[in-house]
Amino acid sequence: MSEQQHIISYRKLTVIWLVLVALTALTVGITRVDLGGYKILSALTIACLKAGLVIAIFMHMSNEGRLLRWLLFVALVTLAIFIGLTFFDVLYR
């Protein structure tokens, strides 16, 4: 490859996988007990954490340059605006 490459060790990948599986166990565990409204919040927070780990490490985003990071940011903000504006309508109808 022309650019310098970032090799992520098998060990680091395995540790991330263990964390992901542990977070899965955690989200299953806490949604089995009755948390009321916090159920959705906690489950989605853990899902975002897991997604962050997959993007940063498995997808090598933490080693990418500024362009890809900004594009990811723009895509996520677009999605957030989408969802935010829809609920602005749905909630106050």
Partner 1 sequence: MTHHPHKDYAGAKLGMWLFLFTELLLFGGLFLLYAVYLKRYPVEFAEGGKQLNWALGTANTVILLTSSLFAAMAVTAVQRDELRRTMGFIGGTILCAGGFMAIKYFEWSAKIGHGIYPGSEHLKTVPPGESVFFSLYYMTTGIHGLHVLIGVTLLAWVAAKVKSGSVHAGDYVLLENGALYWHLVDLIWIFIFPLYYLIL
Binding region for partner 1 (CB under 8 A): 1-3, 5, 7-10, 13-14, 16-17, 20-21, 24, 27-28, 31, 39-40, 43-44, 46-47, 50-51, 54-55, 57-60, 67-68, 71-72, 75-76, 78-79, 82-83, 86-87, 90-91
In the complex, minimum distance from the CB of residue 72 to partner 1, in angstroms, rounded to a whole number:
7
Q: Which residues of 26-56 are buried (b: 16+ CB within 10 A; e: fewer)?
A: ebeeeeeeeeeeeeeeebeebeeebeebeee
Q: Least separation, in Å, of the C-beta of 20 and partner 1?
A: 5
Q: How far is the CB of 11 from partner 1 (least distance, A)?
A: 10
Cα 61 from Cα 21, distance rounded (Å): 20
Please answer whether residues 34 and 68 qualify as being in contact, where contact means their C-beta atoms are separated by less than 8 angstroms. no
